Amino acid sequence: MLKFLKNWTLPVAMLMGTLVYFLFARVSLLSPLKPAVWGIVSFLTPFLIFSQLLLTFCKVEPSALKPTVWHWWLLLFQLISCLFTAGILVYVPMSDVYREVFEGAMVCLICPTATAAAVITGKLGGNAGSLTTYTLLSNILAAVIVPLVFPVVEVHAEVSFLTACSRILIKVFPLLLCPFIVACLLRTFLPAVRAYLANFSNLAFYLWGIALAIVSGQTVRSLVNSEATGYVKLLIALAGLVTCCVQFYFGKRIGGHYRERISGGQALGQKNTVLAIWMAYTYLNPLSSVGPGSYVLWQNTINSYQLWKKRKRDSREMPLPKSNA
């Protein structure tokens, strides 16, 4: 059963989130529970994201976290692409239809690297340790940029920029950086606790599955309650596809220049989509969460293709058994 869940976590989680949403949305007997359920969900998602990062960083040795030149180039690409998209949203007049498309793309660009990216990188033959370093750096970048950019893009007349910025900062900054700080403190003052948590690093994968189910339900809720046409929703999903392909491409090109083609592609292309959906749903137009929601499908399609190519290449390179004749 565990093997089945691990192999099919993506579709199972997304299906469960969708079914649970429709259960609470359509069954009238459950209506009194809705406020409590939405309250639990709003707390549970950031808690699960925090837990994933904490378990991941507890396993990492600080001495192995050494930034290299290609890390800074990828961070620069993330920053410039996000600011460029935000600039279009701020300075180019457009209808709400296209604003949702660009907001979805912007979230996909600034979102940090997924905690599971190191696992895929290792399977593909890349440098998992270097990838983990970039995961931390991309979390720091997102923690700084998101509170500064999102209030400018999604302006609320009743809330000032500083108020909106501080609200997002209070929620996002601890969520992305505190896991690393807590892991360092545990390593220094409670090494036994840190070692104990490191043994459960694989649990982060299943926590990701639970979080994915929750945000999938939230995305479906946005789709159902939105008055936007299917054409608009398709455009937002295509924005997720474009940003996914662009980031994998440039990640591989930049990483390849420093002989880290695999690590560079995964670092820039494989995103913490649970965090991206949560940020889009919480701080931007909720419909823009369709962008990172579709990104889940696109990045896993690319990863599946890469793993298939790797298995095929390895099978060709395996030496044939010697004949006894």
Q: pLDDT for 34-64, tens place per residue? A: 667 667 777 788 888 888 888 888 887 777 7
pLDDT grade, residue 266 (50/70/90)?
A: very high
Residue 325, pLDDT score:
46
Q: Is the pLDDT of residue 1 over 70?
A: no
Share of the chain above pLDDT 70, in %: 90
Q: Among 22-26, 56-60, 181-185, 222-226, name the most confident range.
A: 181-185
Model confidence at 320: pLDDT above 80: no
Separation CA 48–CA 214 (nearest Å) = 10
Higher pLDDT, 239 or 294: 239
Average pLDDT over residues 24-34: 68
- In angstroms, the CA 264 to CA 252 distance is 5
CA separation for the pair 65, 120 (Å, rounded): 18
Average pLDDT, integer, range 194-200: 89
Query: pTM score, two decimals?
Result: 0.83
Average pLDDT on 230-246 reads 94
Average pLDDT, the chain: 85
Cβ proximity of 283 and 154 under 8 Å: yes
Contact criterion met (CB below 8 Å) for 146 and 110: yes
CA distance 284 to 220: 16
Q: How confident is the model at residue 316 (pLDDT cuts 50, 70, 90)?
A: confident
Identity of residue 248: F
Rounded mean pLDDT, 91-103: 89
Give 63-80 pLDDT, tens digit per residue. 777 899 999 999 999 999
Mean pLDDT of 84-92: 95
SS3 of the chain: CHHHHHHCHHHHHHHHHHHHHHHHHHCHHHHHHHHHHHHHHHHHHHHHHHHHHHHHHHHCCHHHCCCCHHHHHHHHHHHHHHHHHHHHHHHCCCCHHHHHHHHHHHHHHHCCECCCHHHHHHHHCCCHHHHHHHHHHHHHHHHHHHHHHHHHHCCCCCCCHHHHHHHHHHHHHHHHHHHHHHHHHHHHHCHHHHHHHHCCCCHHHHHHHHHHHHHHHHHHHHHHHCCCCHHHHHHHHHHHHHHHHHHHHHHHHHHHHCCCHHHHHHHHHCECHHHHHHHHHHHCCHHHHHHHHHHHHHHHHHHHHHHHHHHHHHHHHCCCCCCCC
Mind listing the pLDDT tens digit for each residue in 121-130? 887 888 878 8
Name 100's Cβ contacts closer than 8 Å, sequence gap at least 6: 228, 232, 236, 285, 287, 288
Higher-pLDDT residue of 278, 31:
278
Q: Is the pLDDT of residue 185 over 80?
A: yes
Torsion angle of the four alpha carbons 187, 191, 192, 193, in this order, in degrees rounded to the nearest 10: -30
pLDDT grade for 315, boundaries at 50, 70 and 90: confident
pLDDT of residue 237: 92
